[in-house]
Amino acid sequence: MSGLGLLLLLAALLTILIGAAHSILGERYVLPLLLRRPDLPKLLGSSEFTARTLRFAWHLTTIAWWGFAAFFFLTAQGPVPYQSAAAVLAYVFLASAVLTAVASRFRHFAWLVFLVIGLIALYGSQA
């Protein structure tokens, strides 16, 4: 493997680690402080829905970063076929759909948009 390939693998590893740190430390230190605020807005009439929205939005960042890590890994191997790129994007959006649907109990409609995007990308990866 070339020096560039090794650097891209290092970038992939660091991206996985920063995503994990973001989610773990966010759950431990950031989100509890935000969610304890007495003035938390009531989205769709509920501060619980607001808290769930903040939580899944926080973790969507990690999912996206892990998708970037997959791209770094693929590019370390050489040129990336469009099918592989579309498959990575499909899995990122399908994971985003699941996280959003579960965390919001299907009340935040972004899950449906993420699902459609993921299915389109999955179809494109098979073409």
- pLDDT above 90 covers a percentage of the chain that reads 91
pTM of the model: 0.90
Q: Render pLDDT for 83-116 as a digit per residue (tens, 0 to 9).
A: 999 999 999 999 999 999 999 999 999 999 999 9
Range of the domain at 41: 3-126
Distance between start and end Cα atoms, the chain: 30
Give yes or no for residue 44 having a pLDDT over 90: no
Residue 16 burial (CB count, 10 A) = 18
Q: Which long-range contacts does 6-14 make (Cβ < 8 Å, 24+ apart)? A: 6/76, 8/72, 8/73, 8/75, 8/76, 9/72, 9/73, 9/76, 11/69, 11/72, 12/69, 12/70, 12/72, 12/73, 12/76, 13/69
Summarize the confidence of residues 36-46 as an average pLDDT.
Answer: 89
For the chain, how many structural domains are there in total?
1
Helix (H) or strand (E) holding 78: none
